[in-house]
Chains A and B, each alone.
Chain A
């Protein structure tokens, strides 16, 4: 994408196709970038307003689950007069294409952006095959 392009606000996508939660509030899908290098898969998720302690990441049977909970206390006593986005918790799951070494997953949260590095297990890494 060109650097000079005027930024547009993205409408938050609501979560769908998932078991309903017992709490009747809406959950949003964090915007994601995913790229793969030789050694790892990197997943970057935008979760503005989520603190480090409220992030939950787990990998189960080839599925990556990410959850971020918003601290609602900050909204106590505020009366909205003009709104352009809604707030809520974040949740998203991805089917992983390669085997991940679960013990080496690294996560960092900076400026509301969660970066997950999922290292591939040795067998899943690409190998150079020499032609004899």
Chain B
């Protein structure tokens, strides 16, 4: 199901200086892949999500800088994950020089093309990055078929 169409493995590069470059290239190569079927109509849905394969499991990494943990909700149902919340900031009065950050509410649903084990989903939010460990359902795991 998860075709590694030309995917580059990141682990095990001999030259540590190339690790970041190779990671960036690997990420670029998978940009806009048709792997997720949830492609919403508008471009640039928030928050941006990277999906990785880690052994049998799926790891989704979401960048949410400035979102308070208590303003973040994650719901899982079958093979869909819903990430919603709000990003807000309170700045004191003063003259504004630059305003590049965006604030507001967000609600995004990810539908994965594989079955998940909803009970085993783990979420961790640290340093503005949400990591969702999505274990593959037992029935989805590949089986070795013995040739008789």
Pick the residue among A6, A24, A34, A70 that contacts B98 (CB under 8 A): A34
Q: B2-28, CB under 8 A of A: which get 1 and which 0? A: 101001011100000111110110111
Asked if B102 lies at the interface with its beta carbon under 8 angstroms from chain A, I say yes
Asked if A3 lies at the interface with its beta carbon under 8 angstroms from chain B, I say yes
Taking CB atoms, residues of chain B closer than 8 Å to A50 are 127
Pick the residue among B45, B49, B87, B98 that contacts A32 (CB under 8 A): B98
Asked if B97 lies at the interface with its beta carbon under 8 angstroms from chain A, I say yes
Q: How far is the CA of A46 from the CA of B95 in the complex (A)?
A: 20
Asked if B120 lies at the interface with its beta carbon under 8 angstroms from chain A, I say no
Interface size grouping (class) on chain B: 35 or more
The A82-112 residues at the B interface (CB cut-off 8 A) are 82-89, 97, 109, 111-112
Q: A1-43, CB under 8 A of B: which get 1 and which 0? A: 1111111111100000000000111100001111111100110
Which of A32, A72, A78 has most chain B Cβ within 10 Å? A78
Q: How far is the CA of A72 from the CA of B16 in the complex (A)?
A: 10
Is B105 in contact with A36, judged by CB distance below 8 angstroms? no
CB distance from A106 to the nearest CB of B (A): 15
CB distance from B21 to the nearest CB of A (A): 4
Q: How far is the CA of A89 from the CA of B105 in the complex (A)?
A: 27
Is B10 in contact with A7, judged by CB distance below 8 angstroms? no
CB distance from A127 to the nearest CB of B (A): 17
Q: How far is the CA of A9 from the CA of B49 in the complex (A)?
A: 10
Q: How far is the CA of A41 from the CA of B29 in the complex (A)?
A: 40
* Of B51-59, B74-82, B139-147, the one touching chain A: B51-59
Asked if A76 lies at the interface with its beta carbon under 8 angstroms from chain B, I say yes
Is A78 in contact with B128, judged by CB distance below 8 angstroms? no
Taking CB atoms, residues of chain A closer than 8 Å to B91 are 33, 35, 42
Chain A interface (Cβ < 8 Å from any Cβ of B) = 1-11, 23-26, 31-38, 41-42, 44, 46-51, 70, 72, 75-89, 97, 109, 111-113
A-B contact pairs, 23 of them (CB 8 A): A1-B104, A2-B104, A4-B105, A7-B106, A9-B47, A26-B24, A33-B98, A46-B66, A48-B127, A75-B10, A78-B11, A78-B53, A79-B52, A80-B7, A81-B53, A83-B31, A83-B33, A84-B31, A85-B48, A87-B50, A111-B64, A111-B125, A113-B66
Chain B interface (Cβ < 8 Å from any Cβ of A) = 2, 4, 7, 9-11, 17-21, 23-24, 26-31, 33, 35-36, 42, 44-54, 58-59, 63-69, 87-89, 91-106, 125, 127-129
